[in-house]
Amino acid sequence: MVISTIADQITRTVEGISDTLTSPFTDPVIRLGVTGLSRAGKTVFITSLVANLMDRGRMPQLEAAATGAIRTAYLQPQPDDTVPRFNYEAYLSQLTAPEPTWPDGTRQISELRLSLRVQPSGLLSGISGPRTVHIDIVDYPGEWLLDLGLLDQTYAEWSEAALSRARGRPGGEDYVALVAGVDPTVRLDEPEAQVLAERFTAHLREAREAGFSDCSPGRFLLPGDLAGSPVLTFAPLPTTRYPRGSLGREFERRFESYKRNIVQPFFRDHFAKIDRQIVLVDVLGAIHGGPATLDDLRGAMARILGTFRPGKNAFLTRIFQGRRVEKILFAATKADHLHHSQHPQLTAITEALLREAKDRADFAGAQTAAMSIAALRTTVEETVDHKDGPLDVVRGRLLDTNKQAAFYPGKLPSDPAHLLAPAREGSDSWLDADYSIMNFAPAPLTRKPGDGPPHIRLDKAAQFLFGDRL
Ligand SMILES: Nc1nc2c(ncn2[C@@H]2O[C@H](COP(=O)(O)OP(=O)(O)O)[C@@H](O)[C@H]2O)c(=O)[nH]1
Ligand SMILES: [Mg+2]
């Protein structure tokens, strides 16, 4: 046994050496997908992650940082010339300015290559020189993932589902009423088509603002340079036989065009290349929105997880060609809104959402995990005297008034079922408590040399996502 171990190590050592010799061609690459609905915290996450990998003083739970195996980290030109570059320097200087501000919302895909020089540890350490590992970070809207479901639907099926979902959602009744007065068999009139698309988009936007997650088609909310183009100028209509040249027939054609020209290329060109994935989820925001938005988040998480199971979908199976995403982390963001005494509850709720999503999506395969994180910590913790006894609060500078305030968002139950059951049953409001959120401004930083921006469990997230490959 001993002998075989030694022999094994010798061959591995030889491999290790040849690895370094051929290095420019064999440098390992990890493609890390970062997604989440808009405002979930993707931009802040990537900026803080990269800054904390360059200055690793606050990354003790990332093993390769703690042991000193990571020697340096630096940015390099990304491999994909046609994808916009993630504007790291601009975002970092905003977040670390003397009067820090949050970055503006981004609404498209972007990419950044971070390269790490890593010194192998153990037996190889003396023989083999440092090697380079590239982490290609790909930031893309979670809304685009939810579009996968459209591929399996006909225009009639989608229309029916979209109209029934619109009922009872913000702005939805208005759209349903508008459509009731429209005859889809009349000749297409472009201004009328535009009004329908605009009103449907307005409804999606309102629903999104009220905290609903599932507001597809995703490009309606994040149109980028496609705004106003015919591929986004359609909307759900009552189902019937649409004659040639009619409004309904044209909307049906544009729906198919959206699937073919927007949804499929994204999955084929970007999604299918991802190795590891983090899905940022604003769980606190969804709880604040009420039972309906939490229930909707539950469904959206199942659909997002379903996209990582290519076997279920013929199109995905074809583009993945047997590859698959190896690890998926669902991270509840903005945990700095809670005192750490409540983090276990937030994690338990996120875990329960993930467990249900796994059941619903019949998910097996990739390794999954749930965590509560804050990419950029904006608050400090305090315990204050309250009429019912001591209360664990957080204190920060409010975004709208610029004043310091202590904040208590409400008591999260230790049993996630206390929130998930009423959500599933369609309750109108939470029974026991109200949950509030506040928007904090980023705090001015006083950093020690070697420290990145303050965060909560960013190092643990990094360890799960790519620690095993360093
Ligand atoms: N308190 C706190 N707020 C955050 C954090 N990350 C993001 N936010 C808030 O969420 C907003 C959206 O974040 P952003 O990264 O732009 O989201 P994106 O649309 O997913 O890229 C920011 O403007 C902040 O107000 C965090 O770690 N802590
Ligand atoms: Mg962004």
In short, whether 43's Cβ falls inside 6 Å of ligand 1 is yes
Dihedral sign computed on CA atoms, order 61, 62, 64, 65: negative
Q: Which of ligand 1's atoms lies nearest the C-alpha of 36?
A: 20
Taking CA atoms only, the protein residue closest to ligand 1 atom 8 is 41
Question: Which among 213, 401, 413 is positioned nearest to 305, based on CA atoms?
Answer: 213
Where b means 16+ CB within 10 Å and e means fewer, 371-402 reads bbbbbbbbbeeeeeeeeeeeebbbebbeeeee
User: Which residue among 44, 46, 334, 336 has the greatest number of ligand 1 atoms within 8 angstroms of its CB, and so is best to mutate?
Assistant: 44
Here the tokens at position 258 are 């959206």
Instruction: Determine the Cα angle at 407 with ends 284 and 279, to 5°.
Output: 25
In short, whether 374's Cβ falls inside 6 Å of ligand 1 is yes
**Is-contact 456 373, C-beta < 8 A?**
yes
In short, whether 378's Cβ falls inside 6 Å of ligand 1 is yes
> Which ligand minimizes its atom distance to the CA of 399?
1
Compute, in angstroms, the gap from residue 103 CA to the centroid of ligand 2: 8
What φ, ψ does residue 456 adopt, rounded to 5°? Answer: -125, 115
Q: Which of ligand 1's atoms lies nearest the C-alpha of 37?
A: 20
In short, whether 40's Cβ falls inside 6 Å of ligand 1 is yes
> Which ligand minimizes its atom distance to the CA of 143?
1
Question: Which among 272, 254, 461 is positioned nearest to 373, based on CA atoms?
Answer: 461
Residue 404, SS3 per DSSP? strand
Residue-by-residue pLDDT tens, the chain, 470 positions: 344 444 444 444 444 444 444 445 678 999 999 999 889 999 999 999 999 999 999 999 999 999 999 999 999 999 999 999 999 999 999 999 999 999 988 778 999 999 999 997 766 666 778 899 999 999 999 989 989 889 889 999 999 999 999 998 999 999 999 999 999 999 999 999 999 999 999 999 999 888 888 888 999 998 888 889 999 999 999 999 999 999 999 999 999 999 999 999 999 999 999 999 999 999 999 999 899 899 989 988 888 888 888 777 788 888 888 788 899 999 999 999 999 999 999 999 999 999 988 887 777 778 999 999 999 999 999 999 888 888 999 999 998 888 999 998 888 999 999 999 999 998 888 876 778 878 899 998 888 899 999 999 999 999 999 999 99
Report the alpha-carbon distance of residue 214 to residue 298 in Å, rounded. 10
DSSP string, 248-274: HHHHHHHHHHHIIIIIHHHHHHTGGG-
In short, whether 442's Cβ falls inside 6 Å of ligand 1 is no
In short, whether 457's Cβ falls inside 6 Å of ligand 1 is no
Compute, in angstroms, the gap from residue 86 CA to the centroid of ligand 2: 9
Here the tokens at position 214 are 């599932």
Question: Which among 465, 469, 407 is positioned nearest to 440, based on CA atoms?
Answer: 407
Residue intervals in the chain for CATH 3.40.50.300: 29-142+268-375+456-469
In short, whether 333's Cβ falls inside 6 Å of ligand 1 is yes
> Which ligand minimizes its atom distance to the CA of 46?
1
Report the alpha-carbon distance of residue 248 to residue 243 in Å, rounded. 8
CATH architecture of 29-142+268-375+456-469: 3-Layer(aba) Sandwich (3.40)
Q: Which of ligand 1's atoms lies nearest the C-alpha of 399?
A: 25
Question: Which among 433, 149, 165 is positioned nearest to 291, based on CA atoms?
Answer: 433
Q: Which of ligand 1's atoms lies nearest the C-alpha of 337?
A: 1
In short, whether 108's Cβ falls inside 6 Å of ligand 1 is no
